[in-house]
Chains A and B, each alone.
Chain A
Amino acid sequence: METLELKEGGMKLRIEAGCSRSLLVMQQSDGVYPVDITLEQDASLDLAFIVLGDVRVDNSLSVNLVGRGATCRLRGLWLLGGKADVKFDVRMNHETGYCTSEQIFKGICSGSARSDFFGLIKVAPDAQKTDARQQCHNLLLTDDARANAKPQLEIYADDVICTHGATVGRLNDDELFYMRSRGISLDEAKRIQLTVFAAGALDIVPEDVSAGLEGWIEAISR
């Protein structure tokens, strides 16, 4: 996986026919980042965003699947605290058939952080055999934290699989009590729960990168 530095003015990326890329975007400072990505025939892209800390970030991402058989796995994880304000606007455009997209977003907000996720999956009339999936799950750790997750589907083809799920929740008290009843301290139980939650968006990310997030998770869990 290579690291991709986003540029504030906007950025275009093209994955040519038959090529595959695996990209990691780490965001720890403020910025507005429009990104436009095009995938040609049989191109494949793994793209992961990791947003950390007390930041104001506005990502708008459009992924255009223009060639048959293109595949995109998109991941996003944000671990926010302080007065962080993070926006994700994702448009997954299936412009032609036989393309696959899978999006998994996980967000944790503490302090008075907020996140807004908007995710559109658009399937063009002749994009038959599209397989498009999107998940966005959020955990709020404090009363002042906020998260919005709005998925939207616009489907103009009939022979497609499109799924989406969005949730905003809190730490699971039953799990915490169960762990604590075995002697796992509250802080550690929270840390375990957050680690397990975040792991769902880190499956395409190398192990050293996810291991590097432990400190962030620990900081946010207290």
Chain B
Amino acid sequence: MADNDIMLDIRGLHASVGDIEILKGIDLQVKAGEVHAIMGPNGAGKSTLAATLAGRDNISVTQGSLTFDGEDLVPMTPEERSWKGIFLGFQYPVEIPGLSNANFMKAAVNEHRKQRGLGPVSAVEFLRMMKEKMALVEMDSSFSSRAVNAGFSGGEKKRNEVFQMAMLDPRLSILDESDSGLDVDALRIVGTGVDKLRRPDNATILITHYQRLLDYIVPDFIHVLYKGRIVMTGGKELAREIEDRGYDWIINTL
């Protein structure tokens, strides 16, 4: 039986892109207040799992179940999942030329408010929010008038993802390689920024290849994803071991 404080409950999840099965039976339970890290070699299915949780429509769930706060996620649109409090930080954030970051966030914030029966955010309040959340990731205010991710450097895009996360105050954040391509200072800024957003009532899934990010946001569990399955789960020390020894020693025992 489902435990009452389980926020995200993934059971026996299989998912395909077209005819190709990529997730081959995933079980994962995430409770409020927890941080889970997912590691695994390139092509293991980490981003596919993240996109499945966010409701990407080219991925179909073929078996198993996916619930969030006890509600079935599978039939929900991406926007409904966002309204419920799921946030995906993209491995490859999308550029939207012609749409300013500020207008993008205003549209998003207002839709979230609408779902809660609130009117549009006031200009003053919105500016205050933008300023506060940009400060969290030390983003220059000039980024608010620039087109969404257009021409941003790799690191700037990742900071922009965490900024958006802060603006939307999600209950479950799935950050797909938010640490990739960051210089050491940016990594510290993103890491401490995400850590500051932790609360007992929210949860975080960090997809990463490196131990470094986990120095800032210490995970409760680390899962190793390989060929569409979680093949090992351990504590925070597993990251260092993987960094030292790679994945072969795990794969060879399968």
Contact = CB atoms under 8 A, between A and B. Distances in A.
User: Which applies to chain A's interface (DSSP): helix, strand, loop or mixed?
Assistant: helix
Given A182-B164, A184-B107, A196 B96 contact: yes
B168 A183 contact: yes
Contacts of B104: 179, 182
A63 B57 CA distance: 47
B20 interface: no
Nearest to A185: B79
Interface residues of B, number: 29
A177 interface: yes
B111 A188 contact: yes
A183 B79 contact: yes
A182 B78 CA distance: 8
A186 B79 contact: yes
Interface of A: 173-175, 177-186, 188, 192-193, 196-197, 199-200
A177 B88 CA distance: 11
A181 B76 CA distance: 12
A175 B93 CA distance: 10
A178 B97 contact: no
B108 A184 contact: yes
Contacts of B115: 183
Interface in B103-133: 104-105, 107-108, 111-112, 115
A183 B96 contact: no
B83 A183 contact: yes
29 contacts: A175-B94, A175-B96, A177-B54, A177-B56, A177-B57, A177-B94, A178-B94, A179-B96, A179-B104, A179-B107, A179-B108, A180-B77, A181-B54, A181-B81, A181-B82, A181-B87, A181-B88, A182-B82, A182-B104, A182-B105, A183-B79, A183-B108, A183-B111, A184-B79, A184-B107, A185-B111, A186-B77, A186-B79, A193-B96
A177 B78 CA distance: 7
Nearest to B97: A196
Nearest to B51: A177
A197 B96 CA distance: 10
Contacts of A188: 107, 111
A174 B107 contact: no
A175 B230 CA distance: 30
B125 to A, nearest CB: 17
Contacts of B93: 178
B99 interface: yes
A172 to B, nearest CB: 8
Nearest to B78: A180
A111 B99 CA distance: 26
B94 to A, nearest CB: 4
Contacts of A185: 79, 111
A182 B94 contact: no
Contacts of B112: 183
B90 interface: yes
A192 B107 contact: yes
A197 B94 CA distance: 16
B17 to A, nearest CB: 13
A200 B90 CA distance: 27
